[in-house]
Amino acid sequence: MAHLPPRLAELLEAGTPLQNLAGLLVENGYTCYLVGGTVRDAMLGTLAADHDIDVATDARPEAVEEIARAWADHVWVQGRRFGTIGCEKDGKKFEVTTFRDEVYRPESRKPEVTYSDDIETDLSRRDFTVNAMAIALPDIAMVDPHGGLADMAEGRLRTPLSADVSFLDDPLRMLRAARFVATLRFEPVEDLVDAIVRLHDRMEIVSGERIRDELSKLLMAPDPSPGLWLMSRTGLSDEFLPELNAMQLEQDPVHRHKDVLDHTIAVVANTRADLRVRLAALLHDVGKPKTRGFGPGGVMFHHHEVVGARMAKERLLALRYPNEIVDEVSKLVFLHLRFHTYRMGWTDSAVRRYARDAGPLLDDLNELTRCDCTTRNARKAAELAGRMDALEARIADLRTKEELASIRPPLDGVQVMEILGIEPGRLVGEALAFLLEIRLEDGPIGEDEARSRLLEWAASRSLT
């Protein structure tokens, strides 16, 4: 191959771990190909420095494992039942997979793996043509039976066989299509889109964990919007995120968008590529359909943040997100309207409470609040940005004067029990809550003053 892209040329140089592994496979009578996303990203010039290298071979997993154990620094075999042996050599990680032909049974959540003996069959069963290219090793020769190079050059997303065959092989590929539309900015062909419309109900056999991982990758794209719109317009999201399309019909006069879904996807695109913030942006208005009402001012969504926080938690749990992510995202959804009470100005006490309630999520909450402004009205946008600037300046000022990130009562429970002469129980909690209110209202106070106020409080309750 002439005129190789720099990243690919570097990968294929003689003496590299990849070429050494290929040489070992060939010496043992097997074939070896660089395949999949490694080829795609190397051709696009986007291959990460710490990438895993995808290799395909006609060697069966047990033969690959034997060769790898004699050569590699580390070997792992968790993927052996799917035909994959992992190994690491000189800091480079490899996934070596036997040529395969995998098909889902209609009732199965796991692929039934059968092996093939040639690269062409293996490539035909891959998800998209841009991932169905291979480079023969150690001699360098391109294998591209399905026109992946041309599709990559044209920015086109297409399946090697018919889209129906590809998506029936593995329904998760429909969601992966949305991810590639977002990350690669490729345009899906009509056959692919039509197949998602016809077959999206097949997602029911895909595990929540696999859906979660693919959705997370989509959300981490620089701009997830094209992928989210593909999910929405084909009905794909209805299978695992029905809240998305439920927002289509809810008019949002505050932001002057066509509907809440338009606004939501715009907010996701506005935020930085952080999974927690992106999930909060995606779910921050899911409570609006259930809280829609009408009043003198038009459409209203009273307490949609409360309903939305509960809905967000339920959805993220269904998708098997870790509890920490679930709790943090639902908290951001619950708090995302808190800022708007700042319109009339906040006291130092109110700023402290805002910071206390957000805790370590304060900066994420502020970002979500800023990104939630998608109005095209320049005056309103400038007004909101100005209020946000003012609030953040107040927070920064208080941070320099107080331990704003860890507001707590000026005395601890042991001190309270000692001062009041009481045993552990409900009264200790009430006393600490009283002291916390003082801290929030008045800022930091000394231990002597805290002791004096605690005694006054106890006397007022006839505790002393």
Mapped to the 3 state alphabet, what secondary structure does the chain carry? CCCCCHHHHHHCCCCCHHHHHHHHHHHCCCCEEEEHHHHHHHHHCCCCCCCCEEEEECCCHHHHHHHHHHHCCEEECCCHHHCEEEEEECCEEEEEEECEEEECCCCCCCCEEEECCCHHHHHHCCCCHHHCCEEEECCCEEECCCCHHHHHHHCEECCCCCHHHHHHHCCHHHHHHHHHHHHCCCEECHHHHHHHHHHHHHHHHCCHHHHHHHHHHHHCCCCCHHHHHHHHHHCHHHHCCCHHHHCCCCCECCCCECCHHHHHHHHHHHCCCCHHHHHHHHHCCCCHHHHEEEECCEEEECCHHHHHHHHHHHHHHHCCCCHHHHHHHHHHHHHCCHHHHHHHCCCHHHHHHHHHHHHHHHHHHHHHHHHCCCCCCHHHHHHHHHHHHHHHHHHHHHHHHCCHHHCCCCCCHHHHHHHHCCCCCHHHHHHHHHHHHHHHHHCCCCHHHHHHHHHHHHHHCCCC
Confidence (pLDDT) at 289: 82
What pLDDT, in 10s, does the model give residues 245-265? 999 864 544 544 458 899 999
Q: Which of 69-83, 248-262, 399-413 has the lowest mean pLDDT?
A: 248-262
Give pLDDT tens digits for 214-247.
Answer: 999 999 999 999 999 999 999 999 999 999 999 9
Fold of 6-148: Beta Polymerase; domain 2 (3.30.460)
Q: What is the pLDDT of residues 164-186, one digit of tens each?
A: 999 998 999 999 999 999 999 99
Does residue 365 contact residue 401 with C-beta atoms inside 8 Å? no
Domains of the chain, residue spans: 6-148, 409-460
Tell me how far apart the alpha carbons of residues 430 and 419 are, in angstroms, rounded to a whole number. Answer: 14
Q: For helices 260-270 and 275-283, what crossing angle results, to 10°?
A: 170
pLDDT band at 295, cuts 50/70/90?
low
Residue 138, preceding bond cis, omega within 30 degrees?
A: yes
C-alpha–C-alpha distance, residues 158 and 376, integer Å: 36
Stretch 306-335: mean pLDDT: 96
- Cα within 13 Å of Cα(224), Cβ side: 32
Q: Which residues pair with 87 in a beta bridge?
A: 75, 94
- Upper half-sphere CA count for residue 349 (Cβ side, 13 Å): 7
Q: Which long-range contacts (CB under 8 A, 24 or more apart) does 186-192 make?
A: 186/130, 186/151, 186/155, 186/156, 186/157, 187/155, 187/156, 187/157, 188/157, 188/158, 188/230, 189/156, 189/157, 189/158, 191/158, 191/159, 191/162, 191/163, 192/157, 192/158, 192/159, 192/163
In the prediction, which pLDDT does 252 show?
46
pLDDT bracket for residue 301 (50, 70, 90): low
| Residue of higher predicted confidence among 430 and 95 | 95
In contact, 150 and 158? CB cutoff 8 Å? no
* Nearest-angstrom CA–CA distance, 88 and 105: 33
In the prediction, which pLDDT does 387 show?
82
Average pLDDT over residues 389-416: 75
What's the pLDDT at 256?
A: 47
Structure-block tokens of residue 160: 């090697």
Vertex 127: Cα angle to 122 and 131 (nearest 5)? 75
Locate tokens 């490694």: which residue?
38
pLDDT at 455: 82
For residues 348-356, give the mean pLDDT: 81
Tokens of 429: 């909690």
Q: Which residue from 442, 435, 433, 449 is spatially nearest to 347, judged by alpha carbons?
A: 442
Section 298-316 average pLDDT: 84
Q: What is the pLDDT of residue 123?
A: 96
Average pLDDT over residues 104-130: 82
Does position 297 have pLDDT exceeding 50, yes or no?
A: yes
| pLDDT at 300 exceeding the cut of 90 | no
Higher pLDDT, 140 or 393: 140
Take residue 119 and report the two structure tokens written for it: 């690269």
- The rounded percent of the chain whose pLDDT value lies above 70 is 89
**Farthest CA pair distance, the chain:** 90
Neighbours of 460 (CB within 10 A): 9
Handedness of CA 378, 384, 385, 386 (dihedral sign): positive
Predicted local distance difference test score (pLDDT) of residue 257 = 43
The C-alpha R_g of the chain, in whole angstroms, comes to 28
Q: Work out the end-to-end distance of the chain between its first and last CA atoms, rounded to an integer number of angstroms.
A: 89
**Do the Cβ atoms of 45 and 152 come closer than 8 Å?**
no
Q: What is the pTM of this model?
A: 0.82
